[in-house]
Copies of this chain bind each other. A is one copy, B any other.
Amino acid sequence: MDLRLPPLVDHHCHGVLRTGPEPAAFERYLTESEAPAAPGTSYFDSQLGFAVRRWCPPLLDLEPHCPPEVYLARRSELGADEATRRLLQGAGIGAYVVDTGLPGDQTAPAELAALAGGTATAHEIVRLETLAERLAAGAASGADLLDAVDAAVPDAARTAAGFKSIAAYRHGLDFDPAPPAREEAERAAARWLDAGGGRLEDPVLIRHLLWSAVRTGLPLQLHTGFGDTDLTLHRADPLLLTGFLRATAPLGAPIVLLHGYPYHRHAAYLAAVFPHVHADVGLALSHTGARAEAVLAEVLELVPFGKLLFSTDAYALPELYVAGAQLFRAALTRLLTRWTGDGSWSAPDAHRVAALLAAGNSRRVYGLPG
């Protein structure tokens, strides 16, 4: 069936590199691993590598699945700027909701949207751990830091589309669900400052940040499921958030469980039973490539159709926006063609739900125009 999807709202992505990468470094962006590929292997030999080779070469005037070295040579020939424009313009994304908390020389939201051209809009997600680490650099005491956080979060909420936390990386999702008392948070802040600040891993401060964000009423994105070597995956199972979701339900602020894989069915269940919870499988579709349809189908088992949001979780390489967007469109089209074909769904429902997943749900949850 022809789904006639609207331009996608990518509710979770990052900036692209302002320069580079060098051809030899390109494949390092095709993995969540922080190490070079094992001897005798290449990160191009993965579902994500194959997906990039399928969808991107035609945007640079090459055949799908051309060899990596041919692709990288053409990319260098065009120049990173031209390649980035062509790729982003080919992704079919109409709104970028950008987590600006990643380190590195990446484009700001407005730059990204400008590179994508046309009418694409840009929106910011403020990463809580990055915000706190920045504030810690100028804080004189634990109390001072807490005051700064308590001013900065509502202040950020005036312009941001939402907040994000990577508590899954920094501690695991098995944290105490209750908000910490002020003095407990102050002591934790003082300990952290005494230790020189740096990478925030203290669960008390992370809880304080999470509750501060939820109290603004804006959506809060939480990393769940797979990521890089830094993560202990079974401590990123979204079910570990059950207590926190129960505790935050009365506040009503939307909570969006990112990625989820391989626990995406768990995230879908939470979205089914908690009205304020939503789910996403962006990163999982890109990394599972030819299997994106199967993964999308799994999350669509329990997730209410008004609760699943499209994203790419792309960063650094414009190729990742293309792969994420094209895999989503292709997977959704195949799935709904099958479900309408066997009578499980009606065609009008399929079109309506597809538009919700592609854009409508994100526009409603983040309050975006259009």
Residues of A within 8 A of B (CB): 31-38, 40-43, 45-47, 50-51, 53-54, 64-65, 226, 228-229, 232-234, 237, 239-240, 242-243, 246, 249, 261-262, 265-266, 269, 272-276, 287-291, 294-295, 297-298, 300-302, 304-307, 334, 339, 342-346, 349, 353, 356, 364
**Are A304 and B345 in contact (CB-based, < 8 A)?**
no
**Are A32 and B273 in contact (CB-based, < 8 A)?**
yes
**Distance in Å from the Cβ of A345 to the closest Cβ of chain B?**
6
With contacts A233-B266, A290-B344 taken as known, whether A304 is within 8 angstroms of B272 at the C-beta atoms is: no
B contact residues around A261 at 8 Å (CB): 265
With contacts A40-B306, A240-B234, A269-B233 taken as known, whether A47 is within 8 angstroms of B349 at the C-beta atoms is: no
With contacts A304-B43, A344-B54 taken as known, whether A275 is within 8 angstroms of B37 at the C-beta atoms is: yes
**Are A300 and B45 in contact (CB-based, < 8 A)?**
no
**Are B300 and A291 in contact (CB-based, < 8 A)?**
yes
B contact residues around A33 at 8 Å (CB): 272-275
With contacts A240-B234, A344-B289, A344-B290 taken as known, whether A45 is within 8 angstroms of B305 at the C-beta atoms is: yes
**Distance in Å from the Cβ of A330 to the closest Cβ of chain B?**
8
B contact residues around A334 at 8 Å (CB): 342
B contact residues around A53 at 8 Å (CB): 346
With contacts A289-B344, A349-B50 taken as known, whether A272 is within 8 angstroms of B32 at the C-beta atoms is: yes
B contact residues around A356 at 8 Å (CB): 45
A46 contact from B240, B243, B305, Cβ within 8 A: B305
B contact residues around A40 at 8 Å (CB): 306, 364
**Are A272 and B50 in contact (CB-based, < 8 A)?**
no
**Are B234 and A304 in contact (CB-based, < 8 A)?**
no
B contact residues around A297 at 8 Å (CB): 291, 294
A37-B289 Cα distance, complex, nearest whole Å: 33
A301 contact from B35, B274, B288, B304, Cβ within 8 A: B288
With contacts A32-B272, A301-B287 taken as known, whether A54 is within 8 angstroms of B242 at the C-beta atoms is: no
A234 contact from B232, B239, B288, Cβ within 8 A: B239
**Are A35 and B275 in contact (CB-based, < 8 A)?**
yes
**Distance in Å from the Cβ of A343 to the closest Cβ of chain B?**
6
9 A-B residue contacts at CB 8 Å? A31-B272, A35-B249, A35-B275, A40-B306, A50-B344, A65-B349, A229-B273, A288-B302, A295-B301
B contact residues around A237 at 8 Å (CB): 234
B contact residues around A47 at 8 Å (CB): 300-302
A290 contact from B228, B240, B339, Cβ within 8 A: B339
**Are B233 and A343 in contact (CB-based, < 8 A)?**
no
**Distance in Å from the Cβ of A271 to the closest Cβ of chain B?**
9
**Distance in Å from the Cβ of A99 to the closest Cβ of chain B?**
21
| With A31-B273, A262-B266 already in contact, 6 other A-B pairs whose C-beta atoms are closer than 8 Å | A40-B306, A64-B346, A233-B269, A262-B269, A291-B301, A294-B298
B contact residues around A35 at 8 Å (CB): 249, 273-275
A350-B234 Cα distance, complex, nearest whole Å: 32
Most interface-central of A38, A41, A43, A287 (chain B CB within 10 A): A38
**Distance in Å from the Cβ of A55 to the closest Cβ of chain B?**
10
**Distance in Å from the Cβ of A253 to the closest Cβ of chain B?**
12
**Distance in Å from the Cβ of A125 to the closest Cβ of chain B?**
20
**Are B275 and A36 in contact (CB-based, < 8 A)?**
yes
**Distance in Å from the Cβ of A145 to the closest Cβ of chain B?**
31
Most interface-central of A33, A43, A240, A353 (chain B CB within 10 A): A33
